Amino acid sequence: MSVSRRDLLKKTLVGSAAAALPLDAFKFLSPEQAKAALAESPHRWGFLVDTTKCVGCGFCVKACKKENDVPYDEPITRTWVERYVITNDGEALVDSPHGGRDGFTEKKVMEHDVDPESIAKAFFVPKLCNQCKSPACVQVCPVGATYQTPDGVVLIDRSWCIGCGYCVMACPYGVRFFHPVHKVAEKCTFCYHRISKGLKTACVDNCSFGARQLCDLKDHNDPYTKVIMTQRVAVLKDEYGTKPQVFYIGLDKEVR
């Protein structure tokens, strides 16, 4: 009696566990695939933003939204441009209407009329996922739906994300959001579908001013990797220890 009871229990457990597993959980990799997945990649993608070249036209934001199917009119975006206006008395006014998608045509900043005479400095800062070396988002994902590729890009598995939002909270840069259609976490992927085919990201291709550049940090002959190696560059919020891989020229203390 007790044996058959245990048997039954076992069968029920196995059965219900199997029923709960979607079929694609059982994808086996071929040995080559497994090897490729574990091998060190010859690339490490990085990014260089030269804020001194950015004019705030917002073409990058437009291009990104279209390229990556991010609903165009919704107030979420994989990349955005911030405008900074620092007044003579040190006040920082910042804005990014529609993520800067339509450029900055409004003179008012944060509903402030700013007297041009009172402006000490003003500039634009494009933002995107930093594809961190120690990504906080990957660390906190409870199901491993957010992961880092061997070439350094952090991606999200849309079929596995449970939508808990822990990664959204954990990213110090606020680059993550929920995709309104797929209902899973979403963020910049450095256009992984493009760069893995040898193309540039949509935003890089659409920046007429060369403010955004993709680079391969493992390739020391890459012209932009050279810039990062030889010039003084900074990263955003390095105090969080995430080791961001988007490098900036011309940052300011007000930029966070």
Partner 1 sequence: MTEQLVVHGLEWTEKLHFVYPNEFIYWSIQIVMYPYMTGLVAGAFVLSSLYHVFGQKDLKDIAKFSLVFSLALLPVAMMPLQFHLQQPIRGIHVMMTPHFTSAIAAFGIVFSTYAIIVLTEIWFVYRQYFVEQTLALKGVKGAGFRRLIYNILTLGAYDLSEEAIAADKKGVKIFAAIGIPVACFLHGYAGFIFGSVKANALWMSPLMPVIFIMSAVVSGIALCMLTYIIIMEGKKLAASLKKGKSDESVKVIAGVEMDVIKKTSRYLIGFLIAAITLELLDMIFRGYTQMKSWDILREVMWEEDFTKIFIMQYGLGNLLPFLLLMIGKPGIKRTGIALALILFGVFMMRWNVVIGGQAFSLSFHGFMHYHMPIIPHNLETYKEGLFGALTVGATPFILFYIINKFVPSLKTSN
Please give the residue ranges that form the binding site for ligand SF4 (CB under 6 A).
129-132, 135-137, 140-141, 143, 145-146, 154, 156, 161-167, 171, 173, 175-176, 184-185, 187, 242
> 55 or 140, CB closer to partner 1?
140
DSSP 103: -
How far is 21 from 3, CA to CA, in rounded Å? Answer: 27
Could you tell which of ligand SF4, partner 1, none binds residue 120, using a CB distance below 5 to 8 A set by kind?
none
Please tell me whether residue 192 binds partner 1 under the rule CB under 8 A: no
Q: How far is the CB of 108 from partner 1 (least distance, A)?
A: 13
With binding defined as CB under 8 A, does residue 139 bind partner 1?
yes
Q: How far is the CB of 151 from ligand SF4 (least distance, A)?
A: 13
Binding flag, residue 214, partner 1 (CB under 8 A): no
Beta bridge partners of 123: 84
Q: Which does 94 bind (CB under 5 to 8 A by kind): ligand SF4, partner 1, none?
A: partner 1
At its nearest, how many Å lie between ligand SF4 and the CB of residue 217? 15
Q: Which two tokens stand for residue 121?
A: 């400095």
Q: What are the φ/ψ torsions at residue 47 (nearest 5 degrees)? A: -150, 145
Which of 254, 4, 227 has its CA nearest to residue 122? 254
**Pairing relation of β-strands 146-148 and 246-249?**
unpaired
d(CA 36, CA 180): 33
Binding residue for partner 1 (CB under 8 A) from 9, 13, 110, 234? 110
Sorted by sequence, the CB contacts under 8 Å of residue 68 that are 6+ apart come out as: 78, 189, 191, 202
In the complex with partner 1, the residue whose CB is nearer, 13 or 229, is 13
Q: How far apart are CA 39 and CA 225, in angstroms?
A: 23
Smaller CB separation from ligand SF4, 85 or 255? 255
Surface-to-core class of residue 192, CB atoms within 10 Å of its CB (0-12 exposed, 13-18 middle, 19+ buried): middle
- Measured between alpha carbons, how far is 218 from 233 in angstroms, rounded to an integer? 17
Does 156 bind partner 1 (CB under 8 A)? Our answer is no
15 binds partner 1 (CB under 8 A): no
Report the interface residues with partner 1, using CB under 8 A: 20-21, 25, 71, 73-77, 80, 82, 92-96, 98-99, 110, 127, 136, 138-145, 160-166, 168-178, 180-181, 183-184, 239-241, 256
